[in-house]
Amino acid sequence: MTKKVLSATFVAWLPLAIIIVIFSGLAYAVVQQNYRQGANDPQIQIAEDVADAITTGKAQPDGIVSPEPTADISSSLSTFAAIYSATGTPIGSSVSLDGKLPTLPSGAFDYARLHKEDRLTWQPKTGIRIAAVVVYFGGADPGFVLAGRSLRDVEIRENQTEFMSGLAGIIALVLTFIVILFFTNKSLKPRVLEELSMDVKITETPPKPM
């Protein structure tokens, strides 16, 4: 196999390789976003329902969540809720963080106050990531409702998807290169043999006497 065959194969394969890489990345991005956005679904309903109940006076914050949490955020996979005052001070929560009521970054409250709702990935400590929804509620005592759930299982699925899409992309790259190499070699082989034959004939032809 000559350098000419390999060079022609690479030139023909490169545009296809770029397309494979792009579509492998898009496939992963679509599935990853579907997993991540779907992780918010229970929290959206919980946060909005609790905020509506407090705003309309159907429930009081201390009647929804206790100031004494019953689970730890680092080990629980259940959806949890927490309520904060207008200044972001925790009033009550169904989970604790290192034995205390969990606190959110002030930016989440600022955004929720302005847009009525904020959906974010919250990392309260290293190794813990939460799909969180923060909803602002008004009324006599305005504040915020946080509903969250661990992303541990979701991120496992995301990692599996990343591995599978990457592996599929690599297999596709290798197979397409082999196929293109086969047909390129087949199409160029007669031409290469002809050129070699001509070189041999030229070499074997004795020089004419002067």
Structural contact between residues 70 and 46, judged by C-beta atoms closer than 8 angstroms: no
Structural contact between residues 95 and 82, judged by C-beta atoms closer than 8 angstroms: yes
- Residue 113 and residue 61 share a domain: yes
Structural domain containing residue 109? 40-150
Residue 209 lies in a domain: no
| Mean pLDDT of all residues in 43-48 | 94
- Residue 130 and residue 81 share a domain: yes
For 95-139, the DSSP string reads EEBTTB-----HHHHHHHHHHSEEEEEEEEETTEEEEEEEEEE-S
Answer with the one of 109, 125, 150 that is the final residue of a domain: 150
- CATH number of the domain where residue 46 is located: 3.30.450
Q: What is the pLDDT of residue 193?
A: 47
State whether the Cα torsion 171-172-173-176 is positive or negative: positive
- Residue 138 and residue 79 share a domain: yes
- Residue 26 and residue 110 share a domain: no
- Alpha carbons within 13 A on the beta-carbon side of 27: 16
- Residue 163 and residue 78 share a domain: no
Q: Please state the pTM of the whole predicted model.
A: 0.75
Residue 131 lies in a domain: yes
Residue 142 lies in a domain: yes
Q: What are phi and psi of 7, to 5 degrees?
A: -65, -45
* Averaged confidence pLDDT in the chain: 87
Structure tokens at 137: 């509620």
Residue 50 lies in a domain: yes
Residue type, 205: T
- Alpha carbons within 13 A on the beta-carbon side of 150: 17
Residue 123 lies in a domain: yes
- Residue 163 and residue 96 share a domain: no
Residue 210 lies in a domain: no
Three-state DSSP class for residue 203: helix
- Residue 83 and residue 25 share a domain: no
- Residue 123 and residue 58 share a domain: yes
- Residue 103 and residue 181 share a domain: no
* Alpha helix positions (H), the chain: 3-38, 41-55, 61-64, 106-115, 152-204
- pLDDT exceeds 60 at position 194: no
Give the count of domains, the chain.
Answer: 2
The proportion of the chain whose per-residue pLDDT surpasses 70, expressed as a percent, equals 89
- Residue 174 and residue 139 share a domain: no
User: pLDDT tens for residues 58-71?
Assistant: 888 878 887 778 78
With cut-offs at 50, 70 and 90, classify the pLDDT of residue 139.
confident
- Residue 47 and residue 131 share a domain: yes
- Residue 48 and residue 19 share a domain: no
Relative orientation angle of helices 152-204 and 3-38, to the nearest 10 degrees: 170
**Cα separation, 184 vs 180, whole angstroms:** 6
Q: What are phi and psi of 209, to 5 degrees?
A: -65, 145
Structural contact between residues 79 and 162, judged by C-beta atoms closer than 8 angstroms: no
